[in-house]
Structure 1
Amino acid sequence: MKKIIVFIIFFLFACANPAPNFSPGGNKLPDGTVGQAYFSEVEITNAVVFKENVGVNISPMDSGLRWKPEVITLEREGQKKEEEDYHHIIISGKPKKTGEILIHINGYTMGTSTPGRKIDKVYRIKINRAGDNIMH
C-alpha cells in the first residue's frame, strides 16, 4: 500500500504544470536616461514559449524602446542557422522622455502532458533626465 501511495505522489508531481519563472523577479527593470542607450533582459524559465504564444507590449508606444527575442546561431555540419529564443527577451533603445515605461509580457506556455499556463508579467522602467541620479 505504501508503494502505491508513493507512486501516486510521484506521478502527480511529474504531471504538475508549474508556473513560469521570470528573471529579474519583482516588477522593476533598471532605470534609464532620456537620449541614452538602454539595455535590459528578461528571462523566462520553467516554461516552453514560442513566437506564436508570447507577446511583448511597450507603453507608451512612442517611448523609444523596443523588444526582440535573443537570436542564437546554431552550427551543424558546417551550416549556420539563426533561431529566435523567446525565453530571453531583450529590451533596448533610447528613451525619448522622462516618466514611466511599462513592459507587458503576455501569452501562454506550451504544455506537454498538461495544458499550458497563462503568462502575464508587467515590468516598470523609470526614465530620468540626463544628470539625475539613476537607481538600479
Structure 2
Amino acid sequence: AASHISRMFEDWLQYKLYHQSYDERLPILEDSVELVAEDIVNKLKSRNSVKGLTGLARIFIKVRTGHVYTYHPLEDGQPLITADMEDFFQQFPLFVEIIIYTMPREDQFAEDVQLLLNVENITVNSSDPYQIRQDIQLVA
C-alpha cells in the first residue's frame, strides 16, 4: 500500500514540476502549504488512487519541502551538497521529502480510510506544519 502511495506522489510531483507555466515561480517551493496539502488530498481521493488504499485503516503522510540549501545541513552547518551537484541544483533548487506510514485494516469491508497529512515548508512554516485530517471514502 505504501508503494502505491509512493507512486501516486511520483505522479503528483512530476505533474507539478513539468506541467507548470514557465514564469519565474518555483512549483511547490513557492506554493502555499495549504495549496500543496489540498492538492495532495485531492490526488489521494482521485479514482485511481483510492483503489490502492483498500485494506488500510490509517495513513500518516509527512511532507517536507524547501530550498535544497536548507536540507539537512552537516554538523559544521554546511549544506549536504557536493561540488558536482551545483549545476543540477541551480536548475532544480527544490527538495521534497515524503514519509509514509500505514496501518492495515482488520475489517476488510470498511468504506473509508483515515488520513493525517502533515505538510512543512522549511522556509515558511518549519515550526508549525500544516495538518489535514480527513476520511477518504473507498467506495463511490
TM-score over 0.5 (shorter chain)? no
Q: Which has the higher strand share?
A: 1
Q: Which has the higher helix share?
A: 2
TM-score by length of 2: 0.31
Larger radius of gyration: 1
